């Protein structure tokens, strides 16, 4: 039986995308981060979360596209229970500051597309894609679990490539000068404007993470 899951992502395409202007983004990056690694880098209070959480849904072009379009939690009240669980602020759990930041930096740019042109559309679509990808369950299904043992990068990448049929971008915190183990931190799954799966580009990285070294062991830290 094939490990690929093509029917999972057969979402309706939005015809307006076909006429998008040249400056319009052409890829969405669904970014997950591993809370244990994030909190080791950012020194946040450990949230005791044992699953991959949503970092954001990022267009590949544009940031801070509309400074006048302010974040308003009243527009996503029905989404807040899921937001609190799936898209938590790991630094300030009781705050909506993380969502405000993601909307201002990325959501206002994603909103150039009709399917994402409101706060509710943007956040609900991010949550929808996050749940459909279900990264945490897929890794566990193929025995990639937080552990004191080390994984080969090829193991991690192969599970995702074989299941989703696309290349992910897997990022790590790289070892110190005398270290030899990198720490799994962030995984990106990419989509086209009609929300079909796409290969991710590996060369672009966001500090403090960078694309994992294919030849170094990978540590997937447990709580």
Give the residue numbers annotated as catalytic, written as ranges: 55, 102, 106
Q: Percentages helix, strand, coil for the chain, rounded to the nearest 5?
A: 35, 15, 45
**CA-to-CA separations, 111 to 114, 159, 194, in angstroms, rounded:** 7, 32, 14
**Triad 142, 208, 122: Cα angle to 5°:** 70
Nearest to 110 by CA among 122, 128, 99, 100: 122
């Amino acid at each position: 039986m094939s490990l690929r899951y093509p029917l999972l992502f057969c979402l309706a395409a939005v015809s307006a995308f076909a006429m998008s202007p040249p400056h319009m983004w052409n890829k969405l990056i669904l970014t997950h981060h591993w809370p244990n690694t994030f909190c080791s880098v950012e020194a946040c209070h450990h949230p005791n979360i044992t699953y991959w959480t949503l970092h954001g849904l990022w267009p590949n072009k544009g940031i801070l596209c509309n400074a006048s379009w302010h974040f308003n939690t009243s527009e996503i009240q029905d989404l807040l229970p899921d937001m609190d669980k799936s898209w938590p602020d790991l630094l300030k759990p009781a705050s909506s500051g993380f969502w405000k930041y993601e909307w201002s930096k990325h959501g206002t740019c994603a909103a150039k597309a009709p399917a994402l042109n409101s706060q509710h559309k943007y956040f609900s679509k991010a949550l929808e894609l996050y749940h459909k990808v279900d990264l945490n369950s897929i890794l566990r299904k193929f025995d990639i679990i937080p552990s004191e043992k080390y994984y080969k990068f090829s193991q991690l990448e192969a599970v995702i490539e074989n299941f989703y049929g696309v290349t992910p971008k897997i990022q790590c915190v790289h070892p110190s000068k005398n270290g030899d183990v990198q720490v799994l931190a962030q995984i990106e799954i990419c989509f086209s404007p009609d929300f079909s799966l796409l290969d991710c580009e590996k060369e672009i990285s966001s500090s403090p993470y960078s694309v994992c070294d294919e030849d170094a062991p990978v540590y997937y830290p447990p709580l």
